[in-house]
Amino acid sequence: MNANGLSRQLVEAEDTVRALQQELAETNRGLVALTMELESRVDERTAELRTTQEELQRTNSELLHMTLELEDRVAQRTAELHEANERLQHELEERQRAEEALRRKDEELRTISQQLWQAAKLATVGELVASIAHELNNPLATVSLRVESLLTQVPEHDPKRRALEIIEQEVERMGRLVANLLQFSRRSQPQISTVDVCEEIRHTLDLISNHLRNRRIRVVREFAPDVPMMHADRELLRQLFLNLLANASDAMPQGGTLAINAAAGVLEGGAPAVVMELIDTGVGIAPDALPKVLEPFFTTKPEGQGTGLGLPICRRIVQEHHGTFTIVSDVGQGTTVRIVLPLTDRTNIAHLQGIEP
């Protein structure tokens, strides 16, 4: 190759290099532009992302706030429900109590009506007994008279005499029974007179002294020398003492001691009175039975033995005399009945017939 050819080739190569350089520069420019554009896009996306993140954060804190609020509300509602529940529980308990009280009242009512029914029956029986006893009085008096007259006609050693004497005794016994029945069923105005209570206690004790002896009951009387006379219904006082003696005797089936005291004293409020005490060493009264012993028909005795009327009658008698009646008892130790009767009061003066207080 010659020198011309070479220089031409050089020129051509230089042209090519220039063209390549130009192309490179252009490409470079393009790349720079592209890079710039990319950077601006990345910036844009980053800004967008930041906004989204901020939004998310806001939403998140809102959610948190809402959750807290909800929790608060739930706690409040729970507390309210709890309170309502407690109120309901309380109301339920109160209702149960009220129902229980109602049930008790109902039961009480039932026993009262039963007692009333029994009392009504008893009153009828009492009336019947009184009228029969009354009817028996006259024939008994006739029989008694006839027997008496027959006895005067029969000679001393006649074998028929014994039979007639037995008839006379039995008629007398029937007469006493009828008199007692009439007295017991009597429900009239008290017959007030001047009474020596010690004498009445002695009299009542005499009536049942045999019975007390058989039961090995020792009676210790302690009557103060200055027990005053008082205004009272003698028969009612006897009935009072008889009932109390019967109860004391029933309480000492294995025997024991019955102390009977009487002394001058005063009633609450200062009115002069007679104070009596009957103290037995019997079985005593259980604490849960004690408040009931004055109720009509309350008895702890077997059927047929107790009527549950003894103590209510005692209390009625004491009330009719405007006195006080108290029972103190210790199971296994014994029972003390204390009676305080005023010597006189306006009410029984009203019944007095010609007796000055």
Ligand X SMILES: Nc1ncnc2c1ncn2[C@@H]1O[C@H](COP(=O)(O)OP(=O)(O)O)[C@@H](O)[C@H]1O
Q: Would you tell me which residues interact with ligand X (CB under 6 A)?
A: 243, 247-248, 251, 280, 282-285, 293, 298-301, 306-312, 335
Please measure the distance between the N-terminal and C-terminal CA atoms of the chain and give it in whole angstroms.
187
Kindly state the tokens that stand for 123.
Answer: 């009153």
CB of 181 to ligand X, least distance (A): 18
Closest CA to 197 of 231, 243, 247: 231
Name the β-bridge partners of 219: 258
One residue of 193, 204, 239, 247 binding Mg ion per CB under 5 A: 247
Q: According to the binding rule CB under 5 A, does residue 310 interact with Mg ion? A: yes
Q: According to the binding rule CB under 5 A, does residue 335 interact with Mg ion? A: no
- Nearer CB in complex with ligand X: 235/295: 295
- Nearer CB in complex with ligand X: 56/220: 220
CB of 328 to ligand X, least distance (A): 11
- Cα gap 112→101, rounded to integer Å: 16
Residue 344 interacting entry, from Mg ion, ligand X, none, C-beta within 5 to 8 Å by type: none
CA–chain centroid gap for 63, Å, is 62
CB of 280 to ligand X, least distance (A): 5
- Nearer CB in complex with ligand X: 243/348: 243
HSE of 321 in the Cβ direction (CA atoms, 13 Å)?
A: 32
- Cα gap 131→185, rounded to integer Å: 10
Burial of 316 (0-12, 13-18, 19+ CB in 10 A): middle
CB of 300 to ligand X, least distance (A): 3
- Nearer CB in complex with ligand X: 261/335: 335
- Cα gap 217→215, rounded to integer Å: 5
Residue 239 interacting entry, from ligand X, Mg ion, none, C-beta within 5 to 8 Å by type: none
Residue 248 interacting entry, from Mg ion, ligand X, none, C-beta within 5 to 8 Å by type: ligand X
CB of 104 to ligand X, least distance (A): 23
- Cα gap 118→112, rounded to integer Å: 10
- Nearer CB in complex with Mg ion: 193/247: 247
Cα 284 to Cα 141, 295, 326, 329: the distances in Å are 45, 17, 14, 5
Q: According to the binding rule CB under 5 A, does residue 342 interact with Mg ion? A: no
Residue 175 interacting entry, from ligand X, Mg ion, none, C-beta within 5 to 8 Å by type: none
CB of 243 to Mg ion, least distance (A): 6
| DSSP assignment letter at 255 | -
CB of 232 to Mg ion, least distance (A): 21
- Nearer CB in complex with ligand X: 231/315: 315
DSSP 272-288: EEEEEEEEE-S----TT
Three-state SS at 253: coil
Which of the ranges 99-107, 138-146, 198-206, 309-317 carries the binding residues for Mg ion, by CB under 5 A?
309-317
Site track 267-306 with Mg ion (rule: CB under 5 A), x = hit: ----------------------------------------
Please provide the size of the chain in residues.
357
CB of 284 to ligand X, least distance (A): 6
CB of 283 to ligand X, least distance (A): 6
Kindly state the tokens that stand for 127.
Answer: 């009336």
- Cα gap 33→280, rounded to integer Å: 131
HSE of 21 in the Cβ direction (CA atoms, 13 Å)?
A: 6
- Nearer CB in complex with ligand X: 274/278: 278
Q: CB–CB of 322/347 below 8 Å?
A: yes
**How, if at all, do strands 230-233 and 334-342 pair?**
unpaired
Using CB positions, name the residue nearest to ligand X.
310
- Nearer CB in complex with Mg ion: 140/242: 242
Question: Phi and psi of 352, rounded to 5°?
Answer: -65, 140
- Nearer CB in complex with Mg ion: 168/295: 295
- Provide the binding-site residues for Mg ion, judged by CB under 5 A: 247, 310
